Amino acid sequence: VVDSIQTLHSERVESAAGSVSQLRETASQLVAYAKRSGCTIVLVGHVTKEGAIAGPRVLEHMVDTVLYFEHDAGSRFRVVRAVKNRFGAVNELGVFAMEESGLREVPNPSAIFLSRHAEPVPGSAVTVALQGSRPLLVEVQALVDAAQSGHPRRVTQGTDAGRLAMLIAVLHRHGGIALADQDVFANVVGGMRIGETAADLPVLLAAVSSLRGRALAPGTVVFGEVGLAGEIRPVQQGEERLREAAKQGFRRAIVPAANKPRRAVKLDIEVRAVARLQEALEAAADAD
């Protein structure tokens, strides 16, 4: 374990440790040694203020796997994320808890990102997001309130702000619900970030729930991509998402029609398949 690569110095290069030429030279020597000896080498590197690996990009190309060790300020949870892997899937996620004795694996990360409310609350929807190949249950919250100025705000934490504005337009055009005079805030609980489109439908249903002041029924999970034509598009690994939801005790799911299991699968969860946004709104109303 080399901690850190920026502190190494090679006599073959005259520049100071941490320079671009030193990083390239020392890393190449370590890679050559690893190939000769078969030894596993872990290079710990600095990151920039933006969170990227400091130094030349060639450093990432030389290694087999790039792992990021992340955490939010004030949180005891740490996340190890793979962004490059020559021998397996990328975007894999490992969740650990920092305790007095060190890091401890969290075997059920979904429990971290779900707030178990004493009773159903408006503006909340649970979805199943994929982190690499791992399905993870997260809670998506939305708050819709009357705009205090002439320019309604669209603020997001954990999802794409531009996509939220697009979803609001689709909701108006194909769902008949106007939010033009409302501020809309969306948040993914626990500091998670969802980069996939499976969060489209839960964000919209959470916003409608907040607007109407009516909570979704407890034990309901939602996922699906919303198209500009108002269609609910399928997402990958739908069956794996349903299995994870059932394992966590959810008994009802609102999913795209194309993600409904076509063969006999014992999921112990009622699946409500929807093809259009209007159908999804009706299914959510039936579940509140």
Band (73; pLDDT cuts 50, 70, 90): low
More confident residue, 89 or 280: 280
Record the pTM.
0.70
pLDDT single digits (tens) 188-205:
987 778 889 999 999 999
Between CA 53 and CA 50 the distance in angstroms is 9
pLDDT single digits (tens) 86-113:
988 776 778 888 888 989 988 877 776 6
pLDDT single digits (tens) 201-226:
999 999 999 999 999 988 899 999 99
More confident residue, 95 or 277: 277
Q: For residues 234 and 217, is the Cβ–Cβ distance under 8 A?
A: no
Q: How confident is the model over 53-69, as a mean pLDDT?
A: 84
Angle CA 78–84–88, to nearest 5: 95
pLDDT for residue 265: 61
Lowest mean pLDDT among 32-36, 67-71, 168-172, 208-212: 67-71
Share of the chain above pLDDT 90, in %: 49
DSSP state string for 165-221: HHHHHHHHHHH----TTEEEEEEEGGG----SGGGHHHHHHHHHHHHHT-PPPTTEE
Domains of the chain: 2-107 (3.40.50.300), 124-286 (3.30.230.10)
